[in-house]
């Protein structure tokens, strides 16, 4: 992967996350927190997980290893999640702007939330983060459908066509 490809993938992720946040903002409060049979108990909790995970990974790439999700992830409003996500995206963009293609093959060591040591190349970790958020946006699409809402299209090909 090149830095250009990494930037494009994260631009896609930002676009798709913004579409999901906008869809969630159209829900009534009781829908936002309605019980969902999924990895996370509600639309709000799933969005918070996406934002918190992206925060955790940026921290890891900067040499930190958070032992837990940030405190704000537990009860954030959609506006707060949008603010936290914007901060993560800005910090990640600054990091990407400093990187070279050679940096993407460097191995990054980190600890999982359970304390287990792990290491992979930065490029592979970056692909993981984009994939992780895509996975949970798929869950959000199902949750929105269960609430009677049409989820936004967030396919990579849709983004690429619109980004032209």
Q: Identify the structural domains of the chain with CATH numbers, from first to last.
A: 3-163 (1.20.120.450)
Q: What is the mean pLDDT of residues 20-43?
A: 95
Per-residue model confidence as pLDDT tens digits over 84-135: 999 999 999 999 999 999 999 999 999 999 999 999 999 999 999 999 999 9
Per-residue model confidence as pLDDT tens digits over 119-128: 999 999 999 9
Query: Based on the number of CB atoms within 10 Å of its own CB, is 106 exposed (0-12), middle (13-18) or buried (19 or more)?
Result: exposed
What's the number of CA atoms in the CB half-sphere (13 Å) around residue 21?
A: 22
Of 25, 20, 85, which is closest to residue 56 (Cα–Cα)? 85
């Amino acid at each position: 992967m090149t830095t250009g490809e990494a930037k494009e993938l994260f631009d896609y992720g930002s676009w798709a996350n913004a579409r999901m946040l906008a869809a969630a903002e159209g829900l009534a409060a009781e829908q936002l927190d309605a019980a969902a049979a999924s990895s996370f108990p509600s639309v709000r909790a799933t969005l918070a997980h996406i934002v918190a995970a992206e925060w955790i990974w940026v921290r890891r790439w900067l040499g930190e290893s958070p032992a837990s999700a940030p405190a704000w992830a537990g009860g954030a409003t959609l506006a707060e999640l949008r603010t936290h996500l914007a901060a993560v995206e800005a910090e990640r963009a600054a990091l990407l702007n400093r990187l070279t293609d050679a940096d993407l093959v460097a191995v990054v060591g980190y600890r999982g939330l359970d304390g287990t040591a792990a290491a992979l190349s930065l490029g592979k970790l970056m692909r993981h983060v984009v994939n992780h958020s895509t996975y949970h946006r798929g869950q959000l699409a199902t949750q929105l459908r269960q609430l009677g809402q049409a989820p936004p299209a967030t396919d990579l090909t849709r983004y690429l066509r619109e980004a032209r």
